[in-house]
Structure 1
């Protein structure tokens, strides 16, 4: 092989003449180069000329790339095989261990199709607890028209062509009456695709910083738990109470609300300006633009029901994002100052939008008198009251006082709660379904303040998830993970 290499070097340095005869000589020289070294191959079996040529290249020879056409064909075939493998693995991961088995029977699929194609039925989600309500279409229409008969709140429009240009969407969400078992409708106007949506979103950004200035406000259950954890012990006989504002969103007077919110914005303009600059790097608009924007959103709420068109003349659209900020600021500015001037004050007074929680250290008669005085503050805000010396539900917690007068909490489930967690056979990623029991267990751990009640609450949670198709292994893993996580936190 060393002699062959030397021969190649000699032939490669040799200069060949130019011309037709030179071209023939060049071809002969190339053939001679390819054939050089073949005589050094020793074999006991007959070999073809091509086999000898290949072996003569030496053991260290590295083959070059294939022709371009073959390369493209092999590349396309490899990509197709890779695509098939990725799709198969993804499909298998959706329902591990079950392959491509469907999660609904043939009869269930046909039943679902029949329900979807039945024009005489209306299927809606309940406002609370995740239940589904199936109504006859005529009952649903009659229910909606009963609400729309309030011409003070819903003003009929006589020009449907003009209304069609601005109306985008209208929906109904149902809320069950636990006393009668009926499903009376509650009008909820969706503002997701409404013509006022751009202004609605801007106002939400501008007004949200003001919510931090409401001392009695609760943002969510977590904020409620943090506040009551710092409360002192209360004397024996203290009363736990809750007030509820009846139909807050539909009861808000539009003109008064826009003036009150804009005035509150103006009085705290320096704070809003700094917050908007720090959080979003935007300039706060002047107060007069805030009032114009609120008037535009509140007075521009249009809806369509059963081919009739209406304008909401009172209240705010629950589906508009700025409605929460308007309602919160309106309630605070309307009652808070006058409420604090009342003679007898509760020891605790927290408010989550239209739900109020408090602890009263006086008598029941004094509490009822306080409730009556609260109802006399504003003509459009009507409060209902519930109270108990033992325990009372608020948000998703059951609040009670222990033997030492310390406020304690446990998990509360409404009687209408159907615990419709995501079914385990649903075609969702397995990681999501595995995380649901853990997240619920973590929520229960956060709510239950006394350890001896935690085990019972977790047992109830396990039974709820078991009914939704979750296996013992998944639920046990969630409880083990909860124990490890809370152990690290402590």
Structure 2
């Protein structure tokens, strides 16, 4: 039940936002650039992907991208092609698992409702080009995008439980700052050796049984979870691993070994597997191991013995029985680890930022559609990173000079960059090697999250103006801050426009026997047309707030899954949606109008203003909502589009006949 305070707040904010006048800010892309962008996005001969490392953008021929995908998928020890779509069968397994967990009291009602996905999307396979391995024919890193898939929220639930155990493992590295703190404590000796190792294809090489056993052993070492919950978590992991199916180029596959990079709990699962795997090995290294730290599959080791003993130690780590293979480098002078170069200096150890050979200048452009304050913080955060990473102030100066040039290329002010550099240069590096702590008395604030747009300041001002109304709600006053805290999502960008995780459907040349014009083709003959003012005609466009809406589908009175428009004799409009044939839904409106019902805004208006007579009512379909190739909640999508059209056509009461703006479709 929505409180009066929430309803009033929503109404006042909506009314004021409706009054915001459009501004004259120009698009930061020219007409030709927009045209080129559309053509690039529609080009079926190329695939655009972000590089696996370095932040660059890679353009691949569709032919090569597909060849590389099948090279990966033809590894029959890891992937198995399925005969058909396993979604229904898989959903039944997950629903039964969640039903049982709820019945046993292992998961509560909120967890149960969140994890049970009624309209799952198909997980899709894609790969990122490893141009650091081969710039002309890059091998691909396999990824499965499983957002809103059957297992996605169960995976999220398991990850949340496993994360604290990952943080407690001895060798776990949280981030670069964590390793800088560890290195700061090392007293370097002449015979020490710097070693880095990378576990080759860790995610896809973790055996299911050994991985689950590792999680079981680590969870069982504490009494923080009851045995029945541990068993349930382990069963959930097994369920995800053995039903890790995905879709590529119209075919379905099952990953039969390891875990997919892309599922939420994969990093935690890999971390716990590695923690269990490495524990006896590290103990076997004895006093020769001065430091051993790991960030998922990247290992840093400082070895106190000789090279021969190091080679023997590495040989024991390469476990052929479970296909764990390490790619190892060592040196007494310097190594690269994560975003650091770790090197010897004056009989001590020092660090600086490591720039990969494939690194590109992918910093955000200063003219990009983002909050000014956020854009100003981008160079500062990067310069702070260099100050933290660089032990030697002279190297910091060299690296910031390179960084400043990169930001200048993106339109940032040189004087502001130099002022920021000077301010950060004065800071004590010791202070930067500390994590920020939050006071125990400091309450987490509930932010207002919205997509940034050019009316950002006006929207913030309106919400702040009516914020006190919202805080009068007895339930909300306990969790809302005195003043609203705003967080902006990124708006559309070039990457979103031209890259997709889903492999595009290759167009098939369909022969068109009739050249039918796009628009609404009113038949003039069905019962709904005969009972209203509709005539046989084609409507190609209709008026809305910002000019004309061009109908881009071929629509009729019998079209299903459409957004439609009702126009009453006095000109007021109503936007609706239906999954049934349009004329069936319109007949319901006609009956309700004729009966003079007051339970809906349309018949109520006709009763008050048009004597319950529908004969001058006009209707048409505006847009067909096509099923998404990956599946998902079609009703929710239809509802979202309905709300967008209500806004675009300005049909919210009192300007139109729509009484409600249903935000539930966006939650």
**TM above 0.5:** yes
Q: Tell me if 1:155 matches 2:42.
A: no
CA distance in 1, matches of 2:221, 2:306: 38
Cα separation, 1, equivalents of 2:305 and 2:248: 49
Among 259, 281, 288, the alignment partner of 2:213 is 259
Secondary structure of 1:113's aligned partner = helix
Higher relative contact order (CA 8 A, sep 6+): 1
Q: What does residue range 293-312 of structure 1 map to in structure 2 within 5 Å?
A: 293-312=236-255
Q: Contact 1:126–1:173 (CA<8 Å) still a contact in 2? A: no
Aligned pairs for 1:79-228 within 5 A: 83-84=20-21, 88=23, 100-160=25-85, 168-181=122-135, 182-228=137-183
Q: What is aligned with 1:463?
A: 405
Deviation at 1:179, TM superposition (A): 4.7
Write the deviation string for residues 266-289 of structure 1: whole angstroms up to 9, x where unpaired: 222x2x34xxxxxxxxx8962211
SS in 1 for 2:341: strand
Q: Report how far residue 172 of structure 1 moved.
A: 1.9
1:403 aligns with 2:346: yes
Whole-angstrom CA distance in 2 between matches of 1:246 and 1:207:
23
2:198 aligned partner: 244
SS in structure 2 of the partner of residue 347 of structure 1: strand
- Distance (Å, rounded) in 1 between the aligned partners of 2:199 and 2:240: 23
- Residues 123 and 246 in structure 2, CA contact (< 8 A), matched pair in contact too: yes
Partner deviation per Cα, 1:238-282 (whole Å, 9 max, x = no partner): 2211011110000001122112212321222x2x34xxxxxxxxx
The Cα shift of 1:392 comes to 0.8
5+ long unaligned stretches in structure 2: 1-14, 92-120, 433-667
Change in 2 beyond 3 A, CA 1:264/1:104: same
C-alpha contact 1:301 1:317 (8 A) present in aligned 2:
yes
* CA deviation profile, 1:28-62 (whole Å, cap 9, x unmatched): xxxxxxxxxxxxxxxxxxxxxxxxxxxxxxxxxxx
SS of the equivalent of 1:341 reads: helix
Q: Distance in 1 between matches of 2:161 and 2:341?
A: 35
Kindly indicate whether the alpha-carbon contact (under 8 Å) linking 2:318 and 2:324 is maintained by their aligned counterparts in 1: yes
Counterpart CA distance in 2 for 1:244 and 1:79 is 56
In the other structure, the counterpart of 1:337 is 280
Cα distance in 1 for partners of 2:16, 2:303 equals 72
Gap change, CA 1:214 and 1:378, over 3 Å in 2: farther
* Residue 381 of structure 2, aligned match among 435, 439, 451: 439
Matched, 1:358 2:313: no
Deviations 1:139-192 (A, max 9, x none): 211111111111221111112365797661314241324353232112111232
Contact 1:391 1:399 in 2 (8 A): yes
- Alpha carbons 1:434, 1:478 under 8 Å: kept: no
Q: Cα deviations across residues 353-394 of structure 1 (Å, max 9, x unaligned)?
A: 111111123322222222112114753211111111211110
The DSSP-based 3-state class of the residue aligned with 2:63 is helix
| Corresponding position: 1:232 with 2:187 | yes
User: What is the CA–CA distance in structure 1 between the aligned matches of 2:197 and 2:321, rounded to whole Å?
Assistant: 15
Q: What does the per-residue CA deviation read over 1:309-331, in whole Å, with 9 as the maximum and x for residues that have no partner?
A: 11110001111111111111111
Equivalenced residues, count: 388
More strand by share: 2
TM-score normalised over the length of structure 2 = 0.55
- What is the rounded CA distance, in whole Å, between the counterparts of 1:344 and 1:485 in structure 2? 37
CA distance in 1, matches of 2:227, 2:414: 54
Distance 1:389 1:484 in 2: 32
* Distance in 2, Cα, partners of 1:309 & 1:295: 20
SS in 1 for 2:308: helix
Q: Distance in 2 between matches of 1:399 and 1:293?
A: 40
Q: Distance in 2 between matches of 1:471 and 1:123?
A: 31
Give, in whole Å, the separation in 1 of the partners of 2:179 and 2:293. Answer: 8
Distance across 2 between alignment mates of 1:338 and 1:131: 37
Counterpart in 2 of 1:4? none
Given that 2:131 and 2:358 are in contact with CA atoms closer than 8 Å, whether structure 1 keeps it comes out as no
* Distance apart, 1:401 and its partner CA: 1.4
- Shift of the 441–162 alpha-carbon distance from structure 1 to 2, 3 Å rule, reads closer
| C-alpha spacing 1:383/1:488, structure 2 compared with 1 (3 Å) | closer
Q: Answer whether contact 1:126 1:176 (CA < 8 A) is retained.
A: yes
Cα offset, 1:231, TM superposition: 1.3
- 1:441-476 Cα offsets, whole Å, 9 max, x none, are 111111111222211111111011112222213312
Work out the CA distance in 2 between the residues paired with 1:81 and 1:480.
Answer: 45
Shift in CA distance, 79/176, structure 1 to aligned 2, threshold 3 Å? closer
Query: RMSD value over aligned CA atoms?
Result: 2.6
**Separation in structure 2 between the aligned mates of residue 202 and residue 478 of structure 1, nearest angstrom:** 41
Aligned to 1:482: 424
Question: How far has the Cα of 1:115 moved from its partner?
Answer: 0.3
Q: Which residue in the other structure is 1:34 paired with?
A: none
Structure number with larger C-alpha Rg: 1
Contact 2:52 2:131 in 1 (8 A): no
Measured in 2, the distance between the counterparts of 1:400 and 1:482 equals 23
Higher mean alpha-carbon deviation, 185-194 vs 297-306, is at 185-194
CA distance in 2, matches of 1:209, 1:179: 34
Contact kept? 1:245, 1:382, Cα under 8 Å: yes
The CA distance in 2 between the partners of 1:377 and 1:341, in whole Å, is 18
Q: Which residue of 286, 291, 310 maps to 2:229?
A: 286
TM-score by length of 1: 0.74
